[in-house]
Structure 1
Amino acid sequence: MAPRKTDPVNVEYEAKAKNLLKAELKRKGVTYAQLAELLSGRGVQENERNLNNKISRGGFSAAFLILCLESIGCSDLRL
């Protein structure tokens, strides 16, 4: 059975994913508007506001996380 959105473990790891992505964006000096442009170049249409909301919630897929990280040129992660 898949974990529920309110499951404390799920909440914890969504927060970790959100913080990881935000930290990498900050480290690379990439804004949400710039990320939207980079994603557009890969065929993914997201605007700055949607990205802000999606990342703030933290409820995005692993595929989205990897897509964003690759788009900003992040090849190494420290967990």
Structure 2
Amino acid sequence: MAEQSTYETRAANLLKAELKRHGVTYAQLVERLADIGVSEKEVNIRNKLSRGKFSAAFMLACLTAIETKTLHV
């Protein structure tokens, strides 16, 4: 199993922090993503975030779905 890069870890932690900050669970994220036309399953989201392997497009969709207006990196 490949080790997570620093950037993968940072991206996953950043997205997890935003979900927590907005009080959104993975199940709620699935619903919110569906509302904007993105089909995901909760288990897939959980796996993506635990591995840190997801596209910038997925991250932007998640941030849009939880209505993040500002992101501090």
TM over 0.5, shorter chain: yes
- Asked if residue 47 in structure 1 is aligned to residue 33 in structure 2, the reply is no
Given the alignment of the two structures, is residue 58 of structure 1 paired with residue 59 of structure 2, yes or no? no
- TM score, norm. by length of structure 2: 0.90
Match of 1:73 in 2: 67
Give the deviation of 1:77 after TM superposition: 0.8
Please say if 1:18 is aligned against 2:22.
no
Aligned CA-pair RMSD: 1.5
> What displacement does 1:43 show?
1.5
Bigger radius of gyration, 1 or 2? Answer: 1
Amino acid aligned to 2:34: S
- Displacement of 1:56: 1.0
Give unmatched runs, 5+ long, in structure 1.
Answer: 1-5
State the number of aligned residues. 72
Q: Shift of the alpha carbon at 1:74?
A: 0.3
Shift of 1:32: 0.2
Deviation at 1:58, TM superposition (A): 0.8
Percentage of matched positions with identical amino acids: 56
Q: Which of the pair has the greater relative contact order for Cα pairs under 8 Å at 6+ separation?
A: 2
Flag structure 2 segments of 5+ consecutive residues without an equivalent: none
